Structure 1
Amino acid sequence: MSKTSVAFICTHNSCRSQIAEALGKKLAGDTFESYSAGTSIKDQINPDAVRLMKQHYGIDMLESGQKPKKITDLPNIDYVVTMGCGVRCPFLPAKKRVDWGLEDPTGQNDEIFMQVITKIETKILALKEELLEE
């Protein structure tokens, strides 16, 4: 049986969705495949996200090949998680959809940024448990 595919969707695919993809791979890669994408992508991943993920989790998002991607670049997805951007994402066929309602930490201090990252970590672990129970 193949793993569930989860797409984390955010407007620019440069911060929250990239963090979720990285943490999903590290913390739940045995349970689901993590992807991220955006509706209007930026040229690069947020440098603060890159720095803090490397500092606190030992994850080098750039070295691992993560980059901003468009929704059209995604494979078939089982589970769509929107990050709370207030954007109407194009329709993606999926078995389940959920919105995590997270504030964008872009431009905020490290403490606020880490609060958002910690929320994402908690939600990734809860999603892993949910999928294991199914």
Structure 2
Amino acid sequence: MVKVAFICVHNSCRSQIAEALGKHLAGDVFESYSAGTETKSQINQDAVRLMKQLYGIDMEKTQRSKLLSELPPIDMVVTMGCNVDCPYLPCKHKIDWGLDDPTGKSDEEFVRTIGAIEENIKELALKLISSKET
């Protein structure tokens, strides 16, 4: 199965949401991981609260902030849109989703970002399924 790593600098918000939604929505298509070049002591609490509310997913039970060095060999890297130099990780394919970090912003901004990540996860799963079929 294809291993996909969602990465950003701190691995505390967008990449964590993408890992959780990847497992939830596309776990039968690809394996989801997340990591960063730095870690935070906890996952963003607004992200945790809204993922529980929207999807019933408790990211604090299944995930933690991780460094790039903790990942297995990865087939595809998805960067979140770091607005700085995104972390580098060897892989076969790389995509940048260019998402703004909702940290410190309203729930509405978080929900918009989570929705964009959900759409991107579904689109990625469809692309991977169709590439297997050809």
Q: Displacement of 1:89 after TM fit?
A: 3.9
% identical aligned pairs: 63
Q: CA deviation at 1:92?
A: 1.8
Unaligned runs of 5+ in 2: none
- How many residues align? The count is 131
Report the TM-score when normalising by structure 1: 0.95
1:33-67 Cα distance to aligned partner (Å, 9 max, x none): 00000011111100000000000001011112x00
Quick check: 2:7–2:87 contact (8 Å CA) kept in 1?
no
Mapped contact 2:11–2:39 kept (Cα < 8 A): yes
Equivalent in the alignment of 1:48 = 46
Tell me which stretches of 4 or more aligned residues in structure 1 moved more than 3 Å.
none
Aligned residues: CA RMSD = 0.9
Unpaired stretches in structure 1, ≥5 consecutive residues: none
Larger % of helix: which? 2
Asked if residue 106 in structure 1 is aligned to residue 103 in structure 2, the reply is yes
Instruction: Using the TM superposition, give the Cα deviation of residue 125 of structure 1 relative to its aligned residue in structure 2, in angstroms.
Output: 0.2
Q: What code does the residue aligned with 1:133 have? A: S
Q: Secondary structure at the match of 1:63?
A: helix
Conservation of the 8 A alpha-carbon contact between 2:9 and 2:87: no
Measured after TM superposition, the shift of residue 86 of structure 1 is 2.5
Q: d(CA) in 1 for partners of 2:22 and 2:12?
A: 16
- Name which of 62, 66, 70 aligns with 1:69: 66
Sort the Cα spacing of 1:14 and 1:90 in 2 relative to 1 into closer, same or farther, 3 A. Answer: closer
SS at match of 2:61: coil
TM-score between the two structures when normalised by the length of structure 2: 0.95
